[in-house]
Amino acid sequence: MNAIISASALASALKGANPPVLLDVRWQLSTAAASGEPPFDGRAAYRAGHLPGAVFVDLDEELASAPGGNGRHPLPDLAVFGAAMRRAGVSSGTPVVVYDGGMGWGAARAWWLLRWTGHPDVRVLDGGLPSWEGALETSVPRPAEGDFVPEPAESGLLDADGAAALARSGVLLDARAGERYRGEVEPIDRVGGHIPGAVSAPTTDNVGADGRFLPAGELGARFRGLGVEQGAPVGVYCGSGVSGAHEVLALAVAGIPAALYVGSWSEWSADPERPVAVGPDPR
């Protein structure tokens, strides 16, 4: 099953016998403290207009735990996550489609969590809300309670030690902007740079100007150019495990399984004992 769905295919699926549950995960990385602007309010954006029947999911509160030693967006408490999914009407036998405002990061985080915890049928709306040509609604739906119970997989998740090991034995991709990878700037975390051995692979290069993913063949060629080989282990990290989920999604579109280091650079760089590499060279 493809990990993404087009707006036209979604419109058809919503008219079918087993329509998907829709989750709205509009979210943006907050730079309010630095810019002086108010933080983005995904819930307000949702109330202003969303796909018919979609339920809002709060990334910071329901798809992550509070910031701390494990990073800025550590794994959520699974009881909280499961309750949020059931409240939204998610059941194990019902397909789910997740969307956001177009960047794809928030939607990818929900997609990754649902897949990692055992849901068999989850897709991301390619291009997000801007790709939708149908009507929007402002009423808040009250779906029937779902039955989904998260059951984490034994694979697909990396901790700091696992990420370091993968950088030596396989391919560890850094999904952040190149200047952060190189250590030229670091607007959020304690120090700039990257995990030694990691390869710079900005997730923004996986999509076109319209926010939609590049074709699977082009994505595959891109990742092969970054050193990804058939059957070799692949891992991804970013700043806090959000844009990294989007890169894992891009890899899935290309048919390449990958693990996610959820703590990512926000966890790695917080420990001064962990090594930091700078510059364009992985090591």
Confidence of residue 101 (pLDDT cuts 50, 70, 90): very high
pLDDT for residue 212 is more than 70:
yes
Could you confirm whether 238 is annotated as catalytic?
Answer: yes
Strands (E), the chain: 4-5, 21-24, 55-56, 96-99, 122-125, 157-158, 171-174, 199-200, 234-237, 259-261
Question: What domains can you pick out in the chain, each with its CATH number?
Answer: 4-131 (3.40.250.10), 157-268 (3.40.250.10)
> What token pair was written down for 10?
């979604």
Give the pLDDT score at 32. Answer: 43
Q: What is the pLDDT of residues 29-62, one digit of tens each?
A: 865 444 556 788 999 999 999 999 999 999 999 9
* DSSP of 114-182: HHHTT-S-EEEETT-GGG--S--B-S---PPP--------SSSEE-HHHHHHHHHHSEEEE-S-HHHHH
CA distances from 119 to 24, 55, 200, 281 (A): 17, 17, 30, 38
Among 57, 96, 124, 238, which one carries the catalytic annotation?
Answer: 238
- Can you give the pTM of this predicted structure? 0.96
% residues pLDDT > 90 (the chain): 92
Using DSSP's 3-state secondary structure scheme, residue 38 falls into coil
> What token pair was written down for 75?
């794994």
Helices 243-253 and 105-116: angle between axes, nearest 10 degrees: 70
Confidence of residue 1 (pLDDT cuts 50, 70, 90): confident
Using DSSP's 3-state secondary structure scheme, residue 84 falls into helix
Q: What is the pLDDT of residues 117-161, one digit of tens each?
A: 999 999 999 999 999 999 999 999 999 999 999 999 999 999 999
Residue range 236-240: mean pLDDT, rounded:
97
What is the Cα–Cα distance from 1 to 23, expressed in whole angstroms? 19
Q: Does residue 211 contact residue 217 with C-beta atoms inside 8 Å?
A: no
Residue range 101-125: mean pLDDT, rounded:
97
